[in-house]
Amino acid sequence: MSSMTIEGAGVESRNVTLLELLDRLIDCGVVLTGDLTISVADVDLITLGLNIVLASVERMEQLRAGGELGRAEGLHDG
């Protein structure tokens, strides 16, 4: 019963998607001030670059999900 309706992924497992990790590591976490090498100005630069990657990862996952579901739907129609 439970395996049909709920899916869990231990953090140790490989099921943890890159997107889930990026969501947490890049969007969350404490930001300590001070003499960061990647200083405030540069953080914007990195975040910019990472956001491009993030967007592409998200897009990839959506395409994948859409692709799978699209195929399943095709079976229903046919």
Partner 1 sequence: MKPPSKTTTPQTNTENAPEPRDGESGWYLYGVTLRQTASEVITNQAMDTGEPLLVLEQGKLAAIVRPVRLAEFSAEALQARAQDLVWLEAMVREQNQIVARVHEAGAVLPVKFGSIYSNSEALQAALAAIHDALLAQLQRLQDCDEWGVRLFANRQAMQRLAAEHPALQRHKDELAAASPGRAYLLKRKLADELAAITEEALSHLAQASYARLMRYAVAGQASPRPQKAADGADEREALHATFLVQRANVDGFLEEAQHLAVEQEGLRCAYSGPWPPYSFARLAGEETL
**Residue closest to 52 by CA, chosen among 62, 42, 60:** 60
Output the smallest distance, CB 5 to partner 1, in A.
4
Residue with tokens 């999900």: 65
Provide the residue type at 17 as one letter: T
Output the smallest distance, CB 68 to partner 1, in A.
9
**Residue closest to 47 by CA, chosen among 70, 62, 31:** 31
User: Rule CB under 8 A: which residues touch partner 1?
Assistant: 1-2, 5-12, 15-16, 18, 20-22, 24-26, 28-38, 42-43, 45-46, 49-50, 52-53, 56-58, 62-63, 65-66, 69-70, 72-73
